[in-house]
Structure 1
């Protein structure tokens, strides 16, 4: 045999580029795979084909006998839980703050409350050229959580009935000496006698340290038992390789000292992943039920689902109903009266969450470099939680802005604002504002019938009474002084269609199917077309579309 022999080679394409780049992962021939590419490689890689060949001169190999060939099999598809719109919202909101604050790295996680599905996971790290890229999965990297961990501390105290929300706590003006060290509150408040709830709302390190020392200094293992119940000492078990192991010291360890417990109470001296923090807050939002986070809905082969993944409960009850109600009051109080008050003053929804500001040192930087980790963890709407969001940002040394409410908080709120508008449904206690006057602005829209029908269902643009319109493939909707009307768009293969009002996707689809090439200028829907509607089509002709 002789002649030309073609060898196919497959490559992975990332059509969305930066979005979830690290989570989706990399499929590399000469290096370890990462992300979902690594985790689900057994499904994705398929089966390599085999062929019996013989070598001839010049290092060329030719097939010997086709009966010895084993045909390759395509890999299967995985359908993720990620929502491309939520991912883009999260990535953009995080990027905006990263650039503003010239931060070192950051991550944002969006989890669906009732299922544990990860709807978005954005990770941005600063490169040597000061640009940001999804270089590492920071959501799976353990760090000192700071004040967001105070939720675990008050849960332990309330669950053991050591105190109530009205139990008095002396904040000592924001400074307290214990175990030959000094605890400082990150924000100056000058407060002394407050309640437990107020201490939490003010994010007082002194308040949390006093609670831990008052109730657990003699039995620190009891406090740690609560952390085990919350899963803090274990990995989350998410279906993604590379998750770091949490660091939680225990009595008897060479790292345990008299200062470990009080510092642990406000999120220092231990390390957990942002994803673990998301699981904790999501459990409070989900009526005390802790869900396992996951990233893949199903595995599909030739359009058929061969493996389906379902939500998994890892802890049916993290605390009592009484404690849970008190935790919710505290988290809502932070957004109404506490450190996040200004952030949510004009919000269209009720939020529940906690700010965090932690001074960190991790080898590259020391505490003297004043590197702060800003965070915000919470859920919304508070009365009927749909999403849990956690934002963590590691700031540059000596950053001018570093408080959680000023850095991570705006990112959290921007994501929540967009999700509330796009996805969160009306509740009995909160209704969307209704229009009291008709829109008088003329408009023209056109598109595939199913797309136009979808919009009409939700926006009620026109009343559909004719069978010809109802079952048309393409429709045009126009608003004139006389009202809104839908009309059938008729296209044939011989003449150039009327593309005015169509979106770029639909216009390109029509033109290319008719054998024309498309050039585009502008953005939006088609305003003008270079070849008039009705002109005879010549295959290969280029038509220019002006969008606006």
Structure 2
């Protein structure tokens, strides 16, 4: 009996345990289905489906005149669905009927496999029933257009199995032009240039696509579950492609010829502060040049172009006028334990005007001006530099602008010689763009403009944000100071370190600069010079400010600012002047007329046409059918009639060959010509009696 009870007790215990275990299972099932159901379903889905990002079409960056500077072009990955109903229908009739011709077409289009090899690739894909078979990566849009016309593919996705995945690649159609300023859009690295600054607008809104996992671990799109991306907005810059080409070419020519390390050239519109062109070239290990860094934004000791800030300070504080005297000490001046040297000695040059010291780019002269004016209150000089905003970045719409350094008496590196050395551009750090901003303010009658690169942000052709010229300082100095400074800058070109750059066609103003640059631990032993030129043109009505800064190779034979940076400025100015010639009035204050043109005798109608076309000043009236001689009188072209009496030998002295022949041959004379140019002598004088079969000899020179 006891044994039976013991057995029953054990049976009941097992039964109760099984019941409890079953209840536990039911509770767990209920919990999994109802409480944790969403979590586990999402986990299951994640093993079979996932969302991938769909990149939006990135906005295009345009030049001011509407040319594409940076844009996205589509590339395609071509895949095939070998399990498509059409390909499998009727025992694969469509595939079998088209595989040969499709293989031939693919071989001709891509040229990477023979037709037989392509046929084998397609057969293997068909045999495996791969629904996402990769056929070709990164094909161009033109290739994709052809591909869609090929046998089998032209039948569409369901019958032909074609799957095309679109992706975009960023290109700069003008290659090197303004490459660093426009910037790069890179998938696995940080963007630079405008691509980085305006990335928020350019990139658009990313979409999503649901992908389902199939055999082999491959994911394929699930139709109807795409969230379409929103395309990025377009950027209209201030850059001008033609001007950029001029600037880039001029800089490149000098960089190559002088084997320079790196350089920059900036072109700014005077009235607005728009950057019309900006070139940055660095020498690569193979000797070529590329836009590898935005050198226009990098700070360095500027050298003599900084002297403009010095003269503005001393003139504005009325310590000096441009006609006051300063002693150059023949180009050498010792102060404390250091000696200031001019780049070239000035034997016999002791007391000269402030203006001429500036024209000669005398370090001694500028150091004395600053020291004698501010030695007791050096921070007054520093305050002027800060007023000129030389201690602040320009704020241009580019990331990575260097931070300028303008020391004061509390700075750790300040010494008794800091003030005079700062006066000629040492112991300060500013960028070429800051130099451009200062010179542009002088050109703009004292108003300092903020430099900027973007005119507008566009969405489907409509502006969503526009940028206007911004004044950062109403006046950098008094009008009296400004007038003197302009004359000094013009004097550099006519009577100073840049006189070799003088142009007979238009007037420009500027300042050369040559700074010795330290080379790391080697210091100044390698004689590396930074050459610069900053100026504006035309001087009487400034349109553009241009700054050129070039760092030369060690021990370069040619390194002065007037010989290296100056010619780049002149080439840019010459070409822009030529482009704008028809739109602008003569840029020189005095006439610079070709003497062959100015003093030729000709018909009135032709002279009128010439004067109208070239927009040259004239005094008096000219009869269309009369013959006149021309001369310059009181800065205008004046005319006097040339009398031609019927029956007399015409007076052709001063005429060109065409007009002389016209008159002489119509008068019945046989003409012998000697020389070229305009008529200086005729064997029979004008007004003599005409005779039959006369021969006249005309001499031209």
Q: TM-score, normalised by structure 1?
A: 0.77
Structure-1 residue corresponding to 2:116: none
Distance 2:243 2:587 in 1: 25
In structure 2, which of residues 315, 318, 323 is the aligned counterpart of residue 166 of structure 1? 323
The answer to whether 1:117 aligns with 2:274 is: yes
> CA RMSD of the aligned region, Å?
2.0
In structure 1, which of residues 278, 283, 288 is the aligned counterpart of residue 446 of structure 2? 288
Post-superposition shift, 1:237?
0.2
5 Å matches for 1:72-111?
Answer: 72-111=229-268
The answer to whether 1:20 aligns with 2:200 is: no
The answer to whether 1:328 aligns with 2:486 is: yes
The answer to whether 1:140 aligns with 2:302 is: no
Distance 1:27 1:369 in 2: 38
5 Å matches for 1:100-499?
Answer: 100-190=257-347, 191-344=349-502, 346-363=503-520, 366-423=523-580, 425-427=583-585, 430=588
Distance 2:484 2:305 in 1: 16
Distance 2:207 2:417 in 1: 61
Distance 1:214 1:44 in 2: 54
Q: Secondary structure at the match of 1:407?
A: helix
Post-superposition shift, 1:266?
0.2
In structure 1, which of residues 21, 27, 30 is the aligned counterpart of residue 188 of structure 2? 30
Distance 2:460 2:296 in 1: 33
Deviations 1:136-195 (A, max 9, x none): 100000011000000000000000011111111000000000131010001222211101
Query: Highest relative contact order (Cα 8 Å, sep 6+), 1 or 2?
Result: 1
Distance 2:269 2:215 in 1: 61
Distance 2:396 2:570 in 1: 25
Distance 1:423 1:60 in 2: 61
Structure-2 residue corresponding to 1:538: none
Q: Secondary structure at the match of 1:50?
A: strand
Whether the 8 Å contact between 1:178 and 1:259 is mirrored in structure 2 is yes
Post-superposition shift, 1:65?
5.5
Unaligned runs of 5+ in 2: 1-83, 85-130, 132-160, 601-612, 615-701
Whether the 8 Å contact between 2:263 and 2:551 is mirrored in structure 1 is yes
The alpha-carbon distance between structure 1 residues 218 and 324, as it changes in their structure 2 partners (threshold 3 A), is same
Structure-2 residue corresponding to 1:539: none
Q: Which has the larger radius of gyration?
A: 2
The alpha-carbon distance between structure 1 residues 362 and 230, as it changes in their structure 2 partners (threshold 3 A), is farther
Whether the 8 Å contact between 2:270 and 2:544 is mirrored in structure 1 is yes
Paired residues, number: 438
Distance 1:362 1:310 in 2: 41
The answer to whether 1:59 aligns with 2:217 is: yes
Post-superposition shift, 1:52?
2.4
Post-superposition shift, 1:362?
4.5
Distance 2:531 2:487 in 1: 23
Q: Secondary structure at the match of 2:173?
A: coil
Post-superposition shift, 1:429?
6.1
The alpha-carbon distance between structure 1 residues 166 and 432, as it changes in their structure 2 partners (threshold 3 A), is closer
Distance 2:551 2:415 in 1: 27
Distance 1:132 1:340 in 2: 27
Post-superposition shift, 1:64?
3.9
Post-superposition shift, 1:301?
1.6
The alpha-carbon distance between structure 1 residues 307 and 433, as it changes in their structure 2 partners (threshold 3 A), is farther
Distance 2:496 2:447 in 1: 26
Post-superposition shift, 1:62?
2.9
The alpha-carbon distance between structure 1 residues 370 and 325, as it changes in their structure 2 partners (threshold 3 A), is same
Higher helix share: 2
Distance 2:288 2:222 in 1: 53
Distance 2:217 2:374 in 1: 75
Distance 2:490 2:382 in 1: 26
Deviations 1:78-132 (A, max 9, x none): 1111111110001111111111111111110000000000011001100111111
The alpha-carbon distance between structure 1 residues 361 and 429, as it changes in their structure 2 partners (threshold 3 A), is closer
Whether the 8 Å contact between 2:506 and 2:587 is mirrored in structure 1 is no
Distance 2:220 2:301 in 1: 60
Post-superposition shift, 1:259?
1.3
Q: Secondary structure at the match of 2:442?
A: helix
Deviations 1:511-531 (A, max 9, x none): xxxxxxxxxxxxxxxxxxxxx
Unaligned runs of 5+ in 1: 438-457, 460-548
Whether the 8 Å contact between 2:526 and 2:555 is mirrored in structure 1 is yes
Q: Secondary structure at the match of 2:569?
A: helix
Whether the 8 Å contact between 1:378 and 1:390 is mirrored in structure 2 is yes
Post-superposition shift, 1:250?
1.6
Distance 1:57 1:262 in 2: 79
Whether the 8 Å contact between 1:426 and 1:432 is mirrored in structure 2 is no
Q: Secondary structure at the match of 1:377?
A: strand
Distance 2:221 2:276 in 1: 48
Q: TM-score, normalised by structure 2?
A: 0.61
Distance 1:426 1:9 in 2: 48
Distance 2:459 2:473 in 1: 33
Q: Secondary structure at the match of 2:389?
A: coil
Post-superposition shift, 1:75?
1.2
Whether the 8 Å contact between 2:436 and 2:547 is mirrored in structure 1 is yes
5 Å matches for 1:519-538?
Answer: none
Distance 1:111 1:14 in 2: 22
Distance 1:156 1:239 in 2: 29
Q: Secondary structure at the match of 2:410?
A: coil
Distance 1:366 1:86 in 2: 38
Whether the 8 Å contact between 1:365 and 1:371 is mirrored in structure 2 is no
Q: Secondary structure at the match of 1:186?
A: coil
Post-superposition shift, 1:364?
7.0
